[in-house]
Structures are given as structure tokens and as C-alpha cells.
Amino acid sequence: MSEIVRPLRKKTPLALEVNQVHKRFGDNEVLKGISLQAHHGEVISILGSSGSGKSTFLRCINFLEIADQGTFIINGEEIRQTHDRHGRQHPTDWKQIERIRSRLGMVFQGFNLWSHRTILENVIEAPVHVLNQDKYEVTEQAEELLQKVGLYHKRHEYPSFLSGGQQQRAAIARALCINPKLMLFDEPTSALDPELVGEVLKVIRDLADEGRTMLLVTHEMNFARDVSDHVVFMHQGLIEEEGSPDRIFNHPNSERCRQFTSQFR
């Protein structure tokens, strides 16, 4: 196994600090107390079998799901929440949520591009129509981002004329166009044909090398091992083991973690 070249965990300020996140759907307790910190510039991969709660955890971080319990400090701001009489919590200030969400770049498994808008229109949509930024300036930035992900020449095409890999690269450009402080990737290559995975991983690797802060749910074990500062292995709604890539992939304490990572080799 090759040596891990990423530096040890960076001691920069925290981009994300979540504590004791719980979430249930009916009787199904999907998250049973998850805590995680991400420093600025850090790449954290989240591994775990299907159903272990990875997506729900990411969705709780950008409040697409509301956690039943847990505290969230995102870019230094604690999310204001209150508890109802059943002990469940709710955000009290949706303007705060919107503001924080507007600096979170989310990339899903499916590309979720607007089919009736061109690639460029997709990329500028949120900054122009949600963040009310100047359309001319955003367009310039969007064109630079499309250049960076290798899609400048496709900017006036509609999504259906692009391959899955190109659509996902466009989705990454769109997430970058809001100047996110934190990027959340949920299995960004899982829906792609195998021959298209590499081009998307390359874009994500470039973002890691640039020092972007990222949480990445993935089943690409070699990629996670190479690109991450820290790796989290989830099992049944809990963090079963976490540590450096070397620890998780070469010397895990947990037998489950060892079995999980070895099945993808």
C-alpha cells in the first residue's frame, strides 16, 4: 500500500462543529449521536454501508432534514434552535439557516440540474436569483469555473446533451459559484458509468488540493484514502471508527471497518 501524502489534520479554525446529532424517522433512529469537527481546508471522507445514515447526516448539516437533537456551529455561527414539548428541536431563525446554507455547496449523487436551462444558466442561478448578485460578475465567475471543470465549451448546451460525468462536473461548478465555505458531496460518482468516474474525481481532487473544506460521502476507497485528511466510518447511525486514512485503511481497530474497506479493494 502506498504512503499517504496528505499532511496530518490541519489546526486551522473550525468550519464545522456538530455535536450529538440524533435523527429518527418514526421508530427508526437513523442517527444516534454523531459528532464531527471539520477544520478549514480539511477533507473528511465519510464511509459506511448503505443505510448507515451518511446522507441523513449530510442533510442535517444543511437543514434539508431537521435533527431531533444536536448542536451545529457552521463557519463560527451556532444555529439557533428551540425545543418543543416532545423534546424535539427546531431552528428558530430560518433567515440564519438560509444565510448559512447559501455558503454550503452541495453535490448529490444525481446531478439535479435544471433541464430547461443551459449549463451556464444552471451555474449562475443561485448567485443571481437567490443571493441577488450582479449577473454580469457572476457570469464571468461561472465561465471561469466552467473552464476549470473543463466545460466552458458546453456552457450554452442543455444538460441532456452532456454525459453524466459532464453533468456532475457542471453540478460541481454550480456548487462552487456560491463561493462555498464548506462543500458537501454525497456519493458524487455513484450514479456514473465506471468510465466517467475518473473525470469527476479529478475535479474533486483539484478542489482538495486547493484547500477547500469538504465532507465527502463516497464508496471510492482509493480516492478517499488519497485525498482525505480524516476518515469517518459510520455504522448503524454511529461513528464506529475515525482517524487518519492510514489508521482507517491500514490499521483499523474495528473489525467491521476493516471488512468494509477491504471489500472495495
Per-residue contact flags (x/-) with Mg ion for residues 22 to 61, judged by CB under 5 A? --------------------------------xx------
Q: Give the C-alpha separation, 8 to 144, whole Å.
A: 31
Per-residue contact flags (x/-) with ligand ADP for residues 53 to 72, judged by CB under 6 A? xxxx----------------
Contact 173, 145 (CB under 8 A): yes
Pick between residue 63 and residue 108 the one whose CB is nearest to Mg ion.
Answer: 108
Pick between residue 54 and residue 225 the one whose CB is nearest to Mg ion.
Answer: 54
51 contact, one of Mg ion, ligand ADP, none, CB 5-8 Å limit per kind = ligand ADP
Pick between residue 41 and residue 188 the one whose CB is nearest to ligand ADP.
Answer: 188
**Order of strands, edge to edge, in the sheet holding 43-47?**
104-107, 182-186, 214-217, 43-47, 230-235, 238-243
Q: Among 48, 105, 159, 188, which residue interacts with ligand ADP (rule: CB under 6 A)? A: 48
Q: Among 13, 51, 76, 211, which residue interacts with ligand ADP (rule: CB under 6 A)? A: 51
When asked if residue 189 is in the footprint of ligand ADP (CB under 6 A), the reply is: no
189 contact, one of ligand ADP, Mg ion, none, CB 5-8 Å limit per kind = none
Pick between residue 89 and residue 166 the one whose CB is nearest to ligand ADP.
Answer: 89
Pick between residue 104 and residue 120 the one whose CB is nearest to ligand ADP.
Answer: 104
Pick between residue 57 and residue 111 the one whose CB is nearest to ligand ADP.
Answer: 57
Q: Among 39, 47, 52, 101, which residue interacts with ligand ADP (rule: CB under 6 A)? A: 52
When asked if residue 118 is in the footprint of Mg ion (CB under 5 A), the reply is: no
When asked if residue 30 is in the footprint of ligand ADP (CB under 6 A), the reply is: yes
| Sites of contact with ligand ADP (CB under 6 A) | 25, 28, 30, 48, 50-56
